[in-house]
Structure 1
C-alpha cells in the first residue's frame, strides 16, 4: 500500500505547506475570520495542555480543557483526510463518474478540516499520525464505500459526543459547522451502499443513535478512540477524560 504522502495531489501538497494561506483554508471551511481569530488567539496563549514524545510515546491527549478536545478532533480529521486522499488518488475500478467526483470533492473538505485544526492549534498541535489502511481494499468499490461509511458514522458520533466537553462558545460553533458536513458525507455514502438508507438511524444504535427521538449517534472519546485505533499506528494516550 502506498503511504499517505505518496498519494498527495498537487493541490494537497500546496494545502499542506507551512505557508498555506490562512484565508484559503478558512474560505474552504466556510468559517468567519473573526471566529477563527478568536480560536487561534486563545489556543496560542495556552501552554502545557498536552504532552507528546514524537519518537517514543506517540501523542497524549489531555482532556482537562477545550484544547484537548480540539486536538482530539484534529487526530480524527487527520485519519479521514488520509483516507480520502488515497481514495481520490487511486479510485476503485468499480466507481461511477459521480462517485469519483464525490471522493475528489470530499478529500478537500477533510483536508480543510485537518488544516484548520493544525493552523489554529499551531505549536500546540499533536504531530502527524501514522495511519494503517491495510484492512481496506482500495481497488474494490464496496470495500471503500464500507470504510467511508464507518469513518463518517464514527466522525459524526465523535463530534456529537465531544460537544458537551467544550466550554467555549466559539469552539462549539465550529464543531457544529464541521459535524454537519460530516453528516452530509455519511448520508451520501449510505445512499450509495443502499439507496434510501441515508436517514436510517436504526443501524446506528450501537453508536448511540436514538431513532425514536430523531437523534444521531453520540460517542465519548473513550468509545471512539478504540474503534479508530484499527486505522492508526501512532500510539494515542488519553488522560483527564
Structure 2
C-alpha cells in the first residue's frame, strides 16, 4: 500500500531541511553546520557498508509512471546508482587524485547519499527495493576512468531530472526536484572542468541558442544507465 499523500507531503517537508542547508566557505560542495550534521545522521545507517540497508531485490523492480510516485522512484533509482558510485570512489580514490579532489568527491558522496535517503524516506512503503550495480566497466584505480564515469553519471542525472519535471503533478515535489537537480548540476560543472577546463557548460549539454541544459526522457536515461544496473528495471505507463 502506498503512503497517504498528506503524510507523504509532511515527510517531504521535513526532509527538505537537508536540501536547504547552507554551504561552507571551504568548498562550494560541502554542507556546513546543521546541514553537515543532517547528512551525517541520514548516512549513519550506511556507515558499515556505505550502502542501502536493504539487500538488492532479486525479481527486478517496476517503475510505474502513472503518478508522482513513479517519477520519485525513478529519481530514487538514479540516486541509488550515483551514491553507490561515489561511495566506492570516496572509499578508495585513484592515486592520481589530488588532496582537494579527494575531499570534493567525499563531499559529493554525502550529497548523493542524502539524495538517495531523502527519496527512500519520502516514498516510504511505496519505494522500490535496492538496486544491484555493475561498475565492471569502470577502472576505479585510474583517475581518467573515474572522472569520465562521474561526468557520465552527472550529465545523465541532470538530463533525467530536466526530462522528468513535466511528469510531476505535485508542486512541492517539483520544487524539491528542482533543488536536487541544481546540486547535480554543480557536481557536473565541477567534474567537467576537472576533465577539460571551461567545459562546464559545453554545447553537448547546454544549447547555445536557448541557454538551456539538455533534457532526456526516462526511456533514454534508463537505456544509458542500464549498463551499470544489474537489477532488472521494468517500466510501465511511460
Measured against aligned partners, the alpha-carbon deviations of 1:180-232 in whole angstroms (never above 9, x if no partner) come to 000000000000001111121x123xxxx422110101001011001000100
What is the CA distance between 1:55 and its match in structure 2? 3.4
Q: 1:190 aligns with which of 183, 189, 192?
A: 192
Aligned mates of 1:108, 1:23 — CA distance in 2: 20
Counting matched residue pairs gives: 193
Is residue 128 of structure 2 the alignment partner of residue 126 of structure 1?
A: yes
- Aligned pairs for 1:80-229 (under 5 A) are 80-200=82-202, 202-204=203-205, 209-229=206-226
Measured against aligned partners, the alpha-carbon deviations of 1:48-107 in whole angstroms (never above 9, x if no partner) come to xxxxx9432x00100001110000000000000000000000010000111001101000
Aligned mates of 1:158, 1:76 — CA distance in 2: 9
Q: Runs (4+) of structure 1 moved beyond 2 Å?
A: 22-31, 53-56
Aligned mates of 1:25, 1:170 — CA distance in 2: 12
Aligned mates of 1:141, 1:55 — CA distance in 2: 33
2:204 is paired with a residue whose SS is helix
**1:29 alignment counterpart:** 19
Question: How high is the TM-score relative to the length of structure 2?
Answer: 0.78
- Provide the aligned C-alpha RMSD in A: 1.9
1:203 is paired with a residue whose SS is coil
Structure 1 pair 25/100, CA: closer, same or farther in 2 (3 Å)?
Answer: farther
The question of whether the paired residues in 2 share the 8 Å contact of 1:25 and 1:115 is answered with no
Unpaired runs of 5+ residues, structure 2, are 1-11, 22-55
Aligned mates of 2:223, 2:15 — CA distance in 1: 30
The question of whether the paired residues in 2 share the 8 Å contact of 1:64 and 1:240 is answered with yes
Aligned mates of 1:169, 1:28 — CA distance in 2: 18
The question of whether the paired residues in 1 share the 8 Å contact of 2:57 and 2:131 is answered with no
Structure 1 pair 54/189, CA: closer, same or farther in 2 (3 Å)?
Answer: closer
Unpaired runs of 5+ residues, structure 1, are 1-21, 32-52
Q: 1:59 aligns with which of 54, 61, 72?
A: 61
Is residue 71 of structure 2 the alignment partner of residue 69 of structure 1?
A: yes
